[in-house]
Chain A
Amino acid sequence: MQNINNIYFDYQATTPVDPRVLDKMLPYFSDIYGNPHSRNHSYGWFAEEAVEMARENVAKIIGANPKEIIFTSGATESNNLAIKGLAEFYGDKKNHIITCVTEHKCVLESCRYLAEKKDFKITYLPVKSDGLIDLNELKSHITEKTLMVSIMGVHNEIGVIQPLKEIGKICRDQGVFFHSDCAQAIGKIELDVEEMNLDLMSISGHKIYAPKGVGALYIRRKPRVRISAIMSGGGQERGMRSGTLSPALCVGLGEACNIYSKEMKKENQKITNLKDRLLNGIRNSCSDIYLNGSEIHRVPGNLNLSFAYIEGESLMMGIKNLAVSSGSACTSASLEPSYVLKALGVEEELAHTSLRIGLGRFTTEKDVDSAVKQIVSEVKRLRSLSPLWEMAQEGVDLSKIKWASH
């Protein structure tokens, strides 16, 4: 297969498996192939030992006990299980959930399911223009019927970091469960389930250099949090998630966490330097480049940029050697700009001009320099084609023009 997009800048979409992770996984495909749930022979015992070691590595990176970790197929499943499982177990007593308009679709859709089928009330918190929720607003919506608050740690599209510790404190004080989708947060920010008073946390493998198809859910034991299983089966994973585990995948997730436990600080510093090099490189040559989401409370690997006066998809077509993601949805079937950028109050015309550039473990200075060169040259070319750029240079106020919408 010919890979046309030859520099990868989409680390929020997914990451390659780290070779060190793959090395740890390989024996569990063919040599140590036992069913980890087989109790009667060494094939099973060795596989089980590997799974339990992996569980420890996952627990360690979030300050949890291994018994509080269950393996799943990924963050989508973990989010579904956390939200629907908790609702199923406690739903007859409390039926109100607070989440946020910019959450991942799997959280929003799980909530919508509960609202439509289980008579739950859902509060969707708005976000401020920096992408963060307002803590007072959160507090004001909690009632005695509130079962849980679900707010993600780091945002997939705009990279902003929500104040998990403060949210956790509010939830604990009010006796409300706190769930966080931390798919994009693991290895990017320090996470501690005690300090943050987290009751449930969703983890994804493929966002942290482990394979696709594996994830985990943290479920607090003290004080105990109960969830109902959403799949029926053999009762694996303490009865909460049936199905034979894949030791290879679990080992991969565990090793990915293990690497982050040791290297997170160093890696974040490296990515911060690369991010600065990229952003400054573009801004030194082009004006009117806007960063979406908080400048301060964000992870370094995510640059969600609006390139005023040029449309995002045309820019993507021009920088075809760079694999980036369109912030505007013009490439997908719907032509609506991103619901996340809309929620931030980014004007629609700017939302149409945005790209998400994701940096990660294997991004190099050479990659960044090449990206700056291509982006700058294409931004200049497309602006020379843009009637909006021309009008802005002539001093026309674009917001005063009566456009015929179509």
Chain B
Amino acid sequence: MAYSKKLIDHYENPRNVGSMDKESKEVGTGLVGAPACGDVMKLQIKVNDSGVIEDAKFKTFGCGSAIASSSLITEWVKGKKIDQASEIKNTEIANHLALPPVKIHCSVLAEDAIKAAIADYKDKNKK
């Protein structure tokens, strides 16, 4: 299976790997997928007072496409308002990385992960 250059670059040089304090009120954490299915993504965002994502970190258990999808989405959400970030569609990720059809679910998981992280942040900061 031949993967795109962009995908391989994200797999070999993943951006924004790491973890943030999940107890912090500024941090939203999304943990999606299941080990039995072969993919788990943890995506964290740090949001400032004006609702802008200042930083994003990820860790992913999964195939190369899953690692690349999560790396890419952390780049995309940084600097975005949380409402803009939640509008990122899996198809944009899949197109950007030229995911083969059998790997489309990796991009779906990345979309789920950012949505879950935003939901966690909103939940923590309910007024």
Residues of A with Cβ closer than 8 Å to B? Answer: 309-311, 313-314, 317-318, 328, 330-331, 333, 335, 337, 347-349, 352, 384-390, 398, 403-406
Q: How far does the alpha carbon of A403 sit from the alpha carbon of B34 in the complex, in Å?
A: 5
B121 at the interface (CB under 8 A from A): no
With contacts A335-B102, A387-B31, A390-B19 taken as known, whether A405 is within 8 angstroms of B64 at the C-beta atoms is no
- Structural contact, B38 and A385, CB atoms closer than 8 A: no
Which of B36, B60, B102 makes the CB contact (< 8 A) with A403? B36
Interface of B is mostly: mixed
Counting from the closest, the 9 A-B pairs by CB-CB distance are: A403-B34, A349-B35, A387-B42, A348-B36, A387-B59, A352-B38, A313-B63, A317-B64, A386-B61
Residues of A with C-beta under 8 A to B8: 317
Docked-complex contact A328 and B38, CB < 8 angstroms: yes
Collect the chain A residues with CB atoms within 8 Å of residue B53's CB.
none
Contact partners of A389 in chain B: CB under 8 A: 61
Q: Are A330 and B67 in contact (CB under 8 A)?
A: no
A333 lies within 8 A of B63 (CB): no
Of residues 1 through 39 on chain B, the ones whose CB sits less than 8 Å from some CB of chain A are: 1, 3, 8, 11, 14, 17, 19, 31-39
A282 CA / B74 CA spacing, docked (Å): 32
Task: Tell me if B79 is interfacial: C-beta within 8 Å of chain A.
Answer: no
Contacting B63 at CB < 8 Å: which of A314, A386, A406? A314
Checking A311, A337, A347, A348 against B39 with a beta-carbon cut-off of 8 angstroms, the contacting residue is A311
- Nearest CB of B to A378, in Å: 10
Interface contact A311-B63, CB-CB below 8 Å: yes
Specify which of B32, B62, B109 is in contact with A314 (CB 8 Å cutoff).
Answer: B62
Across-interface contacts of B60 in A (CB, < 8 A): 385-387
Q: Are B40's CB and A331's CB within 8 A?
A: no
What 0/1 readout, one digit per residue, does chain B (57-77) give for beta carbons within 8 Å of chain A? 001111110110000000000
User: Which residues of chain A have C-beta atoms less than 8 A from B14's C-beta?
Assistant: 385
Q: Are B38 and A311 in contact (CB under 8 A)?
A: yes
Would you list 10 pairs from A and B whose C-beta atoms are within 8 A, ordered by A residue?
A: A311-B66, A314-B66, A314-B67, A330-B38, A333-B102, A352-B36, A385-B60, A403-B40, A404-B34, A405-B37
Q: Is the beta-carbon distance between A314 and B11 smaller than 8 angstroms?
A: yes
Q: Give the CA-CA distance A335 to B62 in the complex, in Å.
A: 12
CB distance from B96 to the nearest CB of A (A): 18
**A387 near B61: Cβ-Cβ < 8 Å:** yes
Q: How far is the CA of A154 from the CA of B123 in the complex (A)?
A: 56
Provide the bound-state CA to CA distance between A81 and B107, in Å. 46
- A398 — nearest CB in chain B belongs to which residue? B35
Shortest CB-to-CB span from B106 to chain A, Å, is 11
Residue numbers of B with Cβ under 8 A of A are: 1, 3, 8, 11, 14, 17, 19, 31-42, 59-64, 66-67, 102, 105, 108-109, 112
Q: How far is the CA of A317 from the CA of B60 in the complex (A)?
A: 15
A331-B1, A385-B60 known; A337-B40 Cβ under 8 A: no
Q: Besides the contacts A387-B42, A406-B112, what 6 more A-B pairs have beta carbons closer than 8 Å?
A: A311-B39, A311-B61, A317-B64, A318-B11, A330-B38, A335-B102
Complex contact B61–A309 (CB within 8 A): yes
Residues from chain B with a CB closer than 8 A to the CB of A406 are 32-34, 37, 39, 105, 108-109, 112
Q: Please tell me if the beta carbons of A390 and B59 are within 8 angstroms of each other in the complex.
A: yes
Shortest Cβ distance from A347 into B: residue: B36
Partner of B33, one of A314, A337, A385, A403: A403
For B41, the closest partner residue in chain A by CB is A387
How far is B39's CA from A337's CA once the two chains are assembled, in angstroms? Answer: 12
Of A331, A335, A388, the contact of B35 (CB 8 Å cutoff): A388
Nearest chain A CB to B68 CB, angstrom units: 10
List, in ascending order, chain B residues with CB within 8 A of A386's CB. 59-61
The answer to whether A385 and B36 have CB atoms under 8 Å apart is: no
Which of B17, B38, B39, B63 lies in contact with A384, CB distance below 8 A?
B17
Residue of B nearest to A390 (CB): B59
Q: Which of B19, B37, B61, B66 contacts A388 (CB 8 A)?
A: B61
**Which residue of chain A has the shortest Cβ distance to B70 in the bound complex?**
A385
A318–B68 Cα distance when bound, in Å, is 13
Please indicate the chain A residues that have their CB under 8 angstroms from the CB of B62 in the complex: 311, 314
Say how far B38's CB is from chain A's closest CB, in angstroms. Answer: 4
Indicate the member of A333, A385, A404 with the most B CB atoms within 10 Å. A385
Tell which of A309, A317, A337, A398 touches B38, judged by Cβ atoms closer than 8 Å: A337
